[in-house]
Amino acid sequence: MMTPSRRRIVLLVLAALVVNRAGHAQMTSQKIDQLVEESMEKFNVVGAAVGIVKDGAVIHAKGYGATSIETKQKVNEHTNFTIASNTKAFTTAALAILVDEGRLAWNDRVREYIPEFKMYNTYVTENFNIQDLLTHRSGLGLGAADLMIWPGGTNTTIGELLSVFQHFEPVSAFRTQFDYDNILYYVAGEVIARVSGMSWEEFVRTRIMEPLQMDNSYTSMTQITDMSNVATPHSTETGPLKTVAHYVRDPKKINGAPGAILSNVDDLCRWMLVHLNKGKYGGNLEKQLFSEASRKEMWRIHTPMEADSDPRYNSHFAGYGLGWNLTDVRGNMLVSHTGSLPGMLSKTILIPDLNLGIIVLTNTSDGGSYVCSSVTRTIMDHYLGLDDYGWLDRYYNRYRESHARADSVSARVWETVRAAQGVRINTENYIGVYEDKWFGKVEVFINDGRLWFRCYRSPKLNGRMYYYQANTFVIRWEYQDLNGDAFAIVAVDDRGKAKSIRMQGISPDIDFSFDFQDLHLLRIETE
């Protein structure tokens, strides 16, 4: 008969085995609540939601804070947030379904399905394949052509996008360097439409969301008839906390393949589980959304990147798969992605070796990105069995340093503008219509006695031009939901008349999708 002391020892050993088998004991809901609430307060974030799956079950799905500072309605597990670039994994999963059905192959050339597709040279055009659309190795620069669809409300159509790439100069050789892009995912969405005979929106809804019972998720804002439980975007980027407009696109003109999905932690836990279960779903995992081979392909490095040098994680590799970032942490594979739109930030982390998934959704720029990072890292570290690294404080220091640096740069620019207020310029030298080959026309004109700049394609990019120095102006956009103010550097002829305009963002923290640096605006009218 076992003595009480021996029984206690056996129980302790068994308990230790259970903990080791799972990797680490589950993080309590109380600790998660405390972590999220503290991070939201630190980074001035209005609302958030967190979902965690472990060992095939949902162990946490909860909302925090408010959907809006105006309504004060509480966030819950069903509150929808725009997940932005976390949408990309849905697009690659949609293509995986078509591959599994034999309707296309990953290495098929894009022009087999979209004959009018053009890149910056003939070789790249003819050899660009489906995976090249998804892996950020096109040779184009970071965020190239994003102004076609950014910061929202543009009139760009999918037809216009298909040939815009021919007007760009590559920054690297084809398939040799990682430079994140969004625009080529629109082309991927068009491939899905042409192969399947249904729109990207309809395909993702019927072939992914409905089978997984993601019943409260949407592929377009236009599908939502009841906005009462949709998180409102907020921003502190250009001043005090305020609500900002939802990012809007017209699904009749352009698909949402790079970043349009609205979802919630309840539904996204199902999404994480199907990936952790190698494409299987259902009560007994009797159904298959995509094959295990397709999951391996999505989680295979296609574009190598530098691994994190932090010895805490001892990472050996890093790269981009198909809609996912890939690396290793403490000997475990880490699959992740982030998403960002005005006032909406999200982050997904999957560690298949631990059968763990974490999703964080937030509704405030730019503090939301720090909440996503500090919360996911802290939870991940717990399950890796690492010590408390104080991620909240570390990210808060980065947050303050980043703001101080950006504020300092912007302050110096506007000080120069104020000092130049007495400088007289001949505004007639700058008035006219200018055109860029890929972006289209802009106009410099007089508005209430002042120089003004407006983009024909993107009505939000409309604002006053302030004299800065030499032939350089600063444009303050009427759109102030994000910090996107820009320099306009004018080249003049021997008579002092403007010939062309180059542009550059002011803030060092400007979103890369404001790719003003890619514009070369040539004057086409003088009156």
Identify any residues that bridge with 462 across adjacent strands, giving them in sequence order. 454
Q: Which domain holds residue 503?
A: 427-525
Torsion of CA 434, 436, 441, 447, to 10 degrees: -50
Q: What angle do CA 196, 197, 202 make, to 5 degrees?
A: 80
Q: What's the pLDDT at 16?
A: 39
Main-chain phi, psi angles of 138, to 5 degrees: -75, -20
pLDDT tops 70 at residue 366: yes
Number of C-beta neighbours around residue 366 at 10 A: 23
* Residue where one domain finishes, among candidates 389, 419, 442: 389
CA 249 – CA 246 distance, rounded (Å): 10
In this structure, the number of other CB atoms found within 10 A of the CB of residue 318 comes to 17
The answer to whether 90 touches 204, Cβ cutoff 8 Å, is yes
Give the model's pLDDT for residue 385: 96
Shared domain check, 460 and 375? no
Q: How far is CA 209 from CA 70, 201, 252, 278, 463, in A?
A: 31, 10, 20, 17, 41
Angle at 34 between CA 30 and CA 36, to 5 degrees: 115
Same domain, 460 and 344: no
Helix or strand (DSSP H, E) at 351: strand 344-351
Residue 10 is assigned to a structural domain of this protein: no
Q: Does residue 6 sit within a domain?
A: no
Q: What is the mean pLDDT of residues 422-433?
A: 94
Q: How far apart are CA 172 and CA 519, in angstroms?
A: 18
Q: Write out pLDDT tens, residues 167-176.
A: 999 999 999 9
pLDDT digits (tens, 9 = 90+) for 179-230: 999 999 999 999 999 999 999 999 999 999 999 999 999 999 999 999 999 9
Predicted local distance difference test score (pLDDT) of residue 26? 85
pLDDT band for 239, please (50, 70, 90 cuts): confident
**pLDDT number for residue 525:** 65
Same domain, 39 and 95: yes
Digit-coded pLDDT (tens) for 15-66: 433 343 344 678 999 999 999 999 999 999 999 999 999 999 999 999 999 9
Mean pLDDT taken over the chain: 93
**Nearest alpha-carbon partner for 456 in 475, 441, 467:** 441
pLDDT of residue 185: 98
**Nearest-angstrom CA–CA distance, 374 and 37:** 12
Q: Within a domain: residue 163?
A: yes
pLDDT at residue 349 is higher than 50 = yes
Is 262 found in the same domain as 317? Answer: yes
Cα separation, 438 vs 181, whole angstroms:
16
pLDDT value, residue 9: 38
pLDDT at 24: 62
Q: Are residues 165 and 313 in the same domain?
A: yes
* Pair of tokens at residue 143: 């965020």
Whichever domain contains 519, its CATH number is 2.40.128.50
Of 34-38, 149-153, 255-259, 353-357, the range with the lowest mean pLDDT is 149-153
Other Cβ atoms less than 10 A from the Cβ of 21: the count is 8
The secondary element (H helix, E strand) that includes residue 64 is strand 57-65
Both 37 and 132 in one domain: the answer is yes
Q: What is the DSSP string of 102-137?
A: TS--TT-BGGGT-TT---SSHHHHHH-BTGGGTTT-
449 and 517 together in one domain: yes
Last residue of a domain, one of 359, 389, 419: 389
> What are the pLDDT digits (tens) for 72-85?
999 999 999 999 99
Asked if residue 151 is part of any domain, the answer here is yes
Closest by CA to 453, choosing from 423, 430, 484, 483, is: 430
Domains held by the chain: number = 2
Burial label, 53 (beta-carbon count in 10 A; 0-12, 13-18, 19+) = buried
Predicted model pTM: 0.93
CB 340 within 8 Å of CB 237: no
CB count in 10 Å sphere of residue 310: 10
Tell me the pLDDT band of 71, cut-offs 50, 70 and 90: very high
Structure tokens at 296: 């391996």
Question: What pLDDT sits at residue 401?
Answer: 94
Residue 450 lies in a domain: yes
Residues 140 and 218 grouped into a single domain: yes
Instruction: Please provide the DSSP assignment of 246-279 as one string.
Output: PP---TTTS--TTT--EE-HHHHHHHHHHHHTTT
Question: Which CATH number is 60's domain given?
Answer: 3.40.710.10
Tell me the pLDDT tens digit for each residue of 457-486: 999 999 999 999 999 999 999 999 999 999
**For residue 366, cis peptide bond before it (omega within 30 degrees of 0):** yes
Considering just the CA atoms, what is the radius of gyration of the chain in Å?
25
Determine, yes or no, domain membership for 419.
no
* Nearest to 464, CA basis, from 472, 98, 474, 357: 474
11 pLDDT above the threshold of 50: no
User: Token pair for residue 34?
Assistant: 């405390």
Distance, in Å, from the CA atom of 63 to the CA atom of 77, rounded to the nearest integer, reads 5
Pair (228, 372) in one structural domain: yes
Token couple for 492: 């003049």
pLDDT > 70: percent of the chain:
95
pLDDT (average), residues 235-252? 92
Same domain, 497 and 349: no
pLDDT at 238: 86
Residue 396 included in any domain: no
Do residue 174 and residue 70 come from a single domain?
Answer: yes
Q: Residue 339: its pLDDT value, please?
A: 97
| CA–CA distance, 257 with 263 (Å, rounded to integer) | 15
Identify whether the C-beta of residue 232 lies closer than 8 Å to the C-beta of residue 239. no
Cβ–Cβ < 8 Å for 99, 91: no
Tokens 């120089």, residue? 451
pLDDT of 94 higher than 60: yes
Is residue 162, in this structure, part of any structural domain at all?
Answer: yes
Domain boundary among 342, 374, 389: 389
> Rounded to an integer, what distance in angstroms lies between the CA atom of residue 344 and that of residue 482?
12
Averaged pLDDT for residues 355-378? 97
One domain, residues 229 and 354: yes
Instruction: Give the residue-averaged pLDDT of 503-527.
Output: 91
